[in-house]
Amino acid sequence: MCRNVLARVPMLLGAVLLSLGAHAQPAPDQADSNATAASSGGLQEVIVTAERFPQQEQKTPVSVVTYSAADLAREGVLDMQTLAAVDPSLQFNRNGGRGMLTLRGVSTSNTTEIGNPSVPVSIDDFVINRPSELDATLFDIAQITVLRGPQGTWFGRSATGGIVDISTVHPSKNFELSGDLEFGNYDEIHADGAINIPVNQSLQFRVALFSNAHAGYRVDTTPLIGSENASSGPDDLDAKGGRIEAVWELAPHLHALFIYQRLLMNQVGPAIQAITFNFIDPTNINSDIYHTMPNRGDGRHFPITGSQYFHHYEQYGKWHFSLDLPANTTLSYMGGIDIYERHELDSGDPPWPPAFDDPAALGPWIMNGYEVNEKPITSTTTTSTTSTSNLSEAKKD
């Protein structure tokens, strides 16, 4: 089913999205110095682009913390939720089943389609604005930088709480083949792999794939008719995707980076247990309620309120051209398009107390289901000029 739906989603490459500045990648000589420092037991030099030009993390006048690929693998970071468990300033919560990031206590509770998150996530300078995308699996990641505090429009949009900047692994001039396979309870299977293919000194490709799935941790005791994923159970996961990147040196000082990614999510989604009001006087709608927690059972079997199934399809294409100019200056242009499609079946509110089963009042509560469908297309373009003179001066210290 996923293939049929995605086959009808055209990949439009006419519109453009752009970042401001260069990627957080060390230059070849910096990479060599890092390798030398690591082999000798010294500290590695970490380069960030918190102010839109490469500079050493220790000399960046911004509250920032950086996680390398080795850090992410060691801590088992696979998504925003596991990242928040590692970073003490970052929290991941769910509002109505949708993911929400909080940084230093600043967040936005509006997780609807028109919400404006206070802590956005940027992947290769492409800001994602959909709460459901926070549940997506991260794969083949080179570096994650958490910028704390207001960021203005450094990353193409306002960020009052901070921003999570993610950089994927780009193609290199060395052949590389890697993979990982994990098993767990609840039928969990996690697999990912990547291959880097250098065609020649001017053209390199990198392909990365992943699949992450497990059965639900909860059991819905009243599944809706039409909930095609009910057998899996809430709090499940079924995500897979892939990414293709190409680096092309068009001329000695002109470089191009092309990225295409596709993501599929087909699952029930987060489980929400609704707790009904327990009125002291069940016959009086205006009576007070008991302020003690009602019996919630075993916490695993209960009627699910919220998502009954969740389908998420996304594909995007991005391209980045950079021209090296004199005086350590780079002229950059990035464009891209993001095609996002979501189909969701939700259930209604918890049942009314018996006193409300009066047609003259609120009427009886009936399990209801309603579908949510959206298919937005996002595109932007920007051109910027950055200077790396600060980095060159820092290396002379």
Domain ranges of the chain: 18-395
The pLDDT, as a whole number, for residue 306 is: 66
**Chain centroid, CA 245 distance in Å:** 18
Query: Which tokens sit at 208?
Result: 């990365």
The pLDDT, as a whole number, for residue 21 is: 34
Measured CA to CA, the distance from residue 6 to residue 15 in angstroms comes to: 20
Measured CA to CA, the distance from residue 13 to residue 128 in angstroms comes to: 18
pLDDT digits (tens, 9 = 90+) for 240-272: 999 999 999 999 899 999 999 999 988 877 777
Radius of gyration of the chain (CA): 24
Q: In this structure, are residues 311 and 345 in contact, taking their beta carbons and an 8 Å threshold? A: no
φ/ψ of residue 353, rounded to 5: -60, 160
Measured CA to CA, the distance from residue 290 to residue 282 in angstroms comes to: 11
Nearest alpha carbon to residue 277 among 378, 366, 350: 350
Give the H/E segment covering residue 56.
Answer: strand 55-56
Other Cβ atoms closer than 10 A to 348: 15
Total residue count of the chain as it appears in this document: 397
User: Any residues with CB less than 8 A from the CB of 79 and at least 6 apart, and which?
Assistant: 134, 135, 136, 137, 138
Is 179 exposed, middle or buried, given 0-12, 13-18 or 19+ CB atoms closer than 10 A? Answer: exposed
Consecutive 10-residue runs of the chain (397 residues): their mean pLDDT? 36 32 39 45 62 63 84 90 91 76 83 75 81 80 89 70 91 95 92 96 96 87 58 81 96 94 86 75 79 80 73 89 88 88 69 49 48 69 58 38
Looking up tokens 């018996």 gives 354
CA max distance for the chain: 81
Phi/psi-derived region of residue 254, left when phi > 0, alpha when psi is between -120 and 50, beta in every other case: beta
Distances from the Cα of 294 to the Cαs of 110, 275, 279, 389, in angstroms?
Answer: 28, 8, 11, 63
The pLDDT, as a whole number, for residue 321 is: 94
Strands 301-302 and 219-220: parallel
For 110-123, give the DSSP string: --STT---SS-EEE
Structurally, what CATH architecture does the domain formed by 18-395 represent? Beta Complex (2.170)
The pLDDT, as a whole number, for residue 394 is: 37
Nearest alpha carbon to residue 237 among 211, 274, 261: 211
pLDDT digits (tens, 9 = 90+) for 146-201: 988 887 766 666 678 888 989 999 999 999 999 999 999 999 999 999 999 999 99
Looking up tokens 């500079």 gives 55
